[in-house]
Amino acid sequence: MVDDLADLTPRRFLRHPILKSFLRQELPHLVNPTLADWHVSLANREHVKSYIKQAQEVHYPFGTGWKGVINLKSYQDARLPKEHHYIRRTLALPLNSEPTDSDEDEEISPQARKDDRLRIIVCMTPEASRRLLASGRYLQSDIGFRRIIGFKEFEVAGMERDANTSIIYCRIYLNRMTAQAHQRVFEEIEAIVFEDTGKRLQWHHLHATDLEDGLDCMILSWTADQHRGQAKGLGLHLQKLASAMPPKPDLYESERLLQDLSPYEHLHRNFRVCTVHYFRLVKLCATTEQVRWLMRSLVCMEHPDWDGTIQMISDHGGKAAQGTALPSLELLMY
């Protein structure tokens, strides 16, 4: 039960299978024993909560928040071999003063907004770094899991072709969703892979010599949801990588140099919007079926009247389409 102690609540404790097994063993004469049968005072959940808190203070003297993570990483670095290291970065950085788009930092909790620092926790094993370098061709990322108060969970996954299964390479926890925050996340992933393998990730549109080169050893595409902060952060990261390279013609527009591409032009070459996320958003949008049909029609290689369809969605979709769906459609426009 120690593994569940960090976020254990009285309700979870009372439903925990280990507790139920213990009570059945200690009170075999009862059919479905409860904690109150063990001692009547334990029927009070506040009483149970006080015992849980005592146990948490013993096992987590620095708490289960930011200081607790710092302490856990220190313990890991001091006691475990490097091959077993999982918490790789705990960063607390000054917030960037550059302006951001209004929807880049959406859905951030009040606790995170009060924090004047960008906090990033990167969790990734050395083995995951090697697998990412060896088999990471078609990658996908997602952010938005709310399992930790004040933080969003960002994960990078990909299809392992040899095993025909999807695996997660790393998880990152951050308290901001801006483009600058995501750019730093991608930089840290690259740095950790280099630290573990001595090699850097290879992006096909940046490092390939022609369109057929590197199809089995470079990152070919990156799929993500419609969050603009995540997409723009990847574009900024790719632009920074290109700026550090010697002048090189672009594979798709040979008259231009990679160094001249904007963040969104880099995204044109390897970024894919996840249609599963998009169609789910359309399905949940509180508008008419005709407007939903117009939204779904935008997912295509070439649309005959993109601007006109966007205008029709804006005019007839109501607040639901204007406030929820259209911001996501803007990313498709780039």
Sorting pLDDT into bands at 50, 70 and 90, what band is 2? Answer: confident
**50: pLDDT strictly greater than 90:** yes
Share above pLDDT 70 across residues of the chain, in percent, rounded to a whole number: 90
**225: pLDDT strictly greater than 90:** no
**102: pLDDT strictly greater than 50:** no
**328: pLDDT strictly greater than 70:** no
The token pair that represents 219 in the structure block: 């990152």
Average pLDDT estimate for 124-146: 89
Sorting pLDDT into bands at 50, 70 and 90, what band is 92? Answer: very high
Sorting pLDDT into bands at 50, 70 and 90, what band is 67? Answer: very high
Predicted confidence at residue 265, as pLDDT, reads 94
Cα 246 to Cα 20: distance, rounded to the nearest angstrom: 64
Give 142's strand partners: 155
**115: pLDDT strictly greater than 90:** no
Predicted confidence at residue 133, as pLDDT, reads 93
Picking from 186, 169, 308, 196, the residue whose alpha carbon sits closest to that of residue 239 is 186
Could you report the per-residue pLDDT of 234-277, keeping only the tens digit for each? 999 999 999 999 999 999 999 999 999 999 999 999 998 888 87
Sorting pLDDT into bands at 50, 70 and 90, what band is 297? Answer: confident
Picking from 284, 180, 196, the residue whose alpha carbon sits closest to that of residue 233 is 180
Predicted confidence at residue 320, as pLDDT, reads 77
The token pair that represents 287 in the structure block: 């508008």
φ/ψ (deg, to 5) at 257? -95, 150
**53: pLDDT strictly greater than 90:** yes
Domain boundaries, the chain: 2-59, 66-272, 278-333
Predicted confidence at residue 104, as pLDDT, reads 53
**103: pLDDT strictly greater than 70:** no
The token pair that represents 210 in the structure block: 């022609």
Picking from 183, 201, 195, the residue whose alpha carbon sits closest to that of residue 240 is 183
Q: What is the pTM of this model?
A: 0.83
**99: pLDDT strictly greater than 60:** no
The token pair that represents 243 in the structure block: 């700026």
The token pair that represents 242 in the structure block: 């290109």
Sorting pLDDT into bands at 50, 70 and 90, what band is 226? Answer: confident
Average pLDDT estimate for 157-183: 89
Q: What is the mean pLDDT of the chain?
A: 87
Predicted confidence at residue 234, as pLDDT, reads 94
Cα 197 to Cα 199: distance, rounded to the nearest angstrom: 5
Sorting pLDDT into bands at 50, 70 and 90, what band is 148? Answer: confident
